[in-house]
Structure 1
Amino acid sequence: MRQIALILVLAAIFGCRKQPAADQVVARVNQEALTVQEFRDALPQGLADIPASGKEDLVRQWINGELMYQEAKRQGLHRDPKMAKQLKDFEKDFLANQLIQREIIEKNSATEAEARAYFDQRQDEFQVEIRLAQILLAGKEEADQAKAKLDQGADFARLAREVSGDSLSRARGGDLVAYFPRGSGNIPLDVEEAVFTLKAGGISQPVKRPDGYRVFKVTDRRPVLERVKFEDVREGLLYAMNMERKKKAYEEMVDRLRAGAKVESHPERLD
């Protein structure tokens, strides 16, 4: 509820607007009004039918927030350099998140038909579960070097203890302890695609993840206890497909925007 009330006062932060018709005003504080449409637009899906008491509470929160906002403006807090910087940062983050919501989250969802087709094409992979070990490397070059050593016969567990950046699995030689079924949603889809085609003892190509590059080894494969049907993995598979699709769309958008902008980065100056 508090998040909804925050949304309801954002218009006051980001600028003025024309005064609404009197019969469309739900609440007013001095010259600022909350309209019926603004209230409805701020409600997330599934909350449109909240009871009258809930609506009254939200309106009360908007009034309280607006009173505090107007008092802060009267005291000139928005002219304080630190406050102004925080407001600018808030606006930047808010607008960036709205862009991500509109261009990536809302436009890149997998359908049930797509998930079923994905399952049908890989049914055999869903009938096994695998145990994994991993080595986490910071960059692509380090990951490629580790993969080359493994291809030349280096011991995976020993190399994991020497160079892996994952503190939890490093002491175990990279072992992730658990067995993973296909389509559970517990591991990302691109990781599943990299490892479920491997035989026991097989080593994957480096897989790019947000925290670096991971090289996986399938240490064991075993059949599931009961044959897996699409309905058994529908929810987890849809989740994994949606996450992978949105991640790819985000990365493509960042690359496109970066290509059209002048970007500098000097992290060494932070030392």
Structure 2
Amino acid sequence: MKKFIPLLVVGTALLAGCNQEKAADSASPTTTAAPAIDKADAVAVVNGQYIAKSTLETLEKEIAERSHGQSFPKEKLIEELVQRELLVQDATQKQLDKSPELIAQLEAAKKALLTQADLQNFLKANPVTDAEIKAEYDSKVAAEKGTEYKASHILVKTEAEAKKLIAELDKGADFAKLANKNSLDAKESQNGGDLGWFSAAQMVAPFSEAVAALEKGKYTKEPVKTQFGYHVILKEDSRALTPPPLEAVKDQLMPFLQRKKVQEMIETLRKQAKVEILVPLTDEKPKAEAAAAPAEQPAATEAAPAEADKAAAPAATEPAKAEEPAKPAEKAAEPAPAAPAEPKK
């Protein structure tokens, strides 16, 4: 017996053949009927219903995108479409396409597809131009001014360890050798604590500030504390920050500018539309419920003093019980000390 291809069945919204269009027609009277499929344009016929070649092409494209270029034999793909068509026909015969739940889902799917189609149509008619990309690059990327630093560091757990290393450096010890022997992030790599070139924004603030304050070729005379531990830092060099070339960031600027265009289009539609919000935008307790609470209190005071005390006793203990778990919760919310690691790049 032939089996479904799991990759195709799970998570796909593509329905093959013609009957899915018929189901959509029953859900929405205004839906335009799907064009008839000629035998010459079909890959298979199932109980008189043709499966279009375009449906197979769509499935092949979907599989290629989902499986990162992996392909399946055409025989398996066609069999997948045949089995889908059989399920569509079976569901239609059982009139599942007329259930309110499915009609609502079909309408939601239709609206989602129309939303995507409208955005794609807008971007096709209003593509991002090279001039717009260049202007965005000049204002946001090329205009950035700053400094890059080249530095090495020795990371240890305690301040005492860091001060001991500084004392050894003062006596002429080699920084790279000390890093390879003692640094928490250089023992394995044996790179002398080299961090390469980085901008201030790539490192945590105490580290960046210490590097910026150092002279070229100098090391910190006091340990620099961060959430990773204690650092001894050697500033090797600095240079003006060089922005990446336009071609290197063009693909990153494109989607940003597309989203910007779409947002402007949607805002224009919103301003032109007549919109009325019909539900409260904040959750509020009904007035009747709020008024009922204080009205019940006098009735409780009419009870005998002894009974009132008994009734009040459990209520008095409730806040204490409720507050107790809050203490460990507050401790858990405090930032946990991070494990020693390389400064954030």
Instruction: Return the TM-score normalized by structure 2.
Output: 0.41
Rg (Cα) greater in structure = 2
The higher relative CO (CA closer than 8 Å, separation ≥ 6) is in 1
Instruction: Return the TM-score normalized by structure 1.
Output: 0.50
